[in-house]
A and B are shown apart, each in its own frame.
Chain A
Amino acid sequence: MNEHFNDIFVTTGCPSQQQLLDYVQGKLSAAEQHEVEMHLADCELCSEAIEGLSAIKEKEKIPGWIIEMKWNLLKQLRLRSRSRRKLETYIYLAVLIFGIILLLLGAFWAYYFINRK
């Protein structure tokens, strides 16, 4: 039995994002490339990702896209967070005003009944 078959069922961890990019750009050594491909046989997520990344025409642009997408995502999240904080402030103010009105009504009611007696 050839000893190379011993590693057929060895489970490997997912490659890093950089390794994936280097793989699709053909920048890996033969050994590194084989290691990534060993993993692809087990991991549907990486396998599908590599298939899609390979179809991108200008692969050197991918890192720039990632930075742009992250920036847009974080901007949207900050906007969401700001509007949620705004909403929380409005709710807090509304509760405060309602409390003050109740207090005033209570004071007025107490004053009115004390004077009546």
Chain B
Amino acid sequence: MNNPAIQQLTDQELLQRFKADHNSEWIGVLFDRYAVLLLGMCMKYLKNEEDARDAVQQIFLKVLSDVNNHEIQFFKAWIYQVTKNYCLMQLRSHPLKYKEEISDRTMGEMVAEPLDKKAYQEKDLLIENMEHAIQQLNPEQRTCIQLFYLDKKSYQEIADKTGYSLLQVKSYIQNGKRNLKLLLEKQQRTNH
């Protein structure tokens, strides 16, 4: 199944073919595309390498059982939700085993929000408002955004320079970017 033509097939086409002939090799191709991502996600939630590996296989088997009952339009977004919900269910089903991982934050995400499928359309935003918007961010977000986008620093370099943890850096950049988008949209609306 290393045939380049098969590698060109979309996720949906692979699923359609699997539904039609139940040939497991189609799933092998899908697995190659997503296994590392799912392993990482499961590891993030379960914090146990063996459990994460088992979870990836269970999630794929679940996906294949569900595939006949669902019309899947965006496989990536769908498998993300399935994985997240599976891991959170595992955390809830084995509270003693995963007691350190269960927090109000993770349980609050039980009904996971859908992935933001709408691609950012920020090309339309007015770039000249950017500097003004950046000044309105809180100091942590502003520093991280400037170091990341302006100075092209890596997460690690920003963490070393600022003393924030890697997770904090990532979070400041993600939230800063989201806030920037909101500020620019607000400015755009005001201008019109």
Enumerate chain A interface residues (CB-CB to B < 8 A).
Answer: 1-2, 4-9, 11, 14, 17, 20-21, 30, 33-34, 37, 40-42, 44-53, 55-57, 62, 65-66, 69-70, 72-74, 76-78, 81, 84
Contacts and interface: CB of A to CB of B under 8 A. Distances in A.
Contacts of A66: 32, 35-36, 39
B86 interface: no
B152 A51 contact: no
Nearest to B124: A9
A11 B43 CA distance: 26
B92 interface: no
A20 B37 contact: yes
Contact of A65 (B27, B39, B119, B170): B39
Contact of B32 (A17, A55, A62): A17
A14 B119 CA distance: 13
Interface residues of B, number: 56
A49 B57 contact: no
A5 B40 contact: no
B27 to A, nearest CB: 6
Contact of A40 (B27, B38, B170): B170
Given A9-B125, A70-B31, A74-B28, 11 more contacts: A1-B128, A2-B150, A11-B120, A14-B37, A17-B37, A34-B152, A40-B170, A45-B37, A45-B41, A49-B44, A53-B40
A77 B27 contact: yes
Contact of A73 (B27, B120, B122, B125): B27
B122 A9 contact: yes
Contacts of B119: 11
Contacts of A49: 36-41, 44
B6 interface: no
Contacts of A7: 149
Contacts of B52: 52
A41 B158 CA distance: 14
A78 B155 CA distance: 43
Nearest to A63: B36
B115 A45 contact: yes
B47 interface: yes
A62 B154 contact: no
Contacts of A33: 154
Contacts of B47: 55
Contact of B22 (A40, A74, A84): A84
B122 A69 contact: no
Interface in B47-61: 47, 49, 52-53, 56-57, 60-61
Contacts of A37: 148, 154-155
Given A41-B173, A70-B31, A5 B150 contact: yes
15 contacts: A5-B127, A7-B149, A8-B177, A9-B120, A17-B33, A37-B154, A52-B44, A53-B36, A55-B44, A55-B47, A66-B35, A72-B57, A74-B27, A74-B28, A77-B61
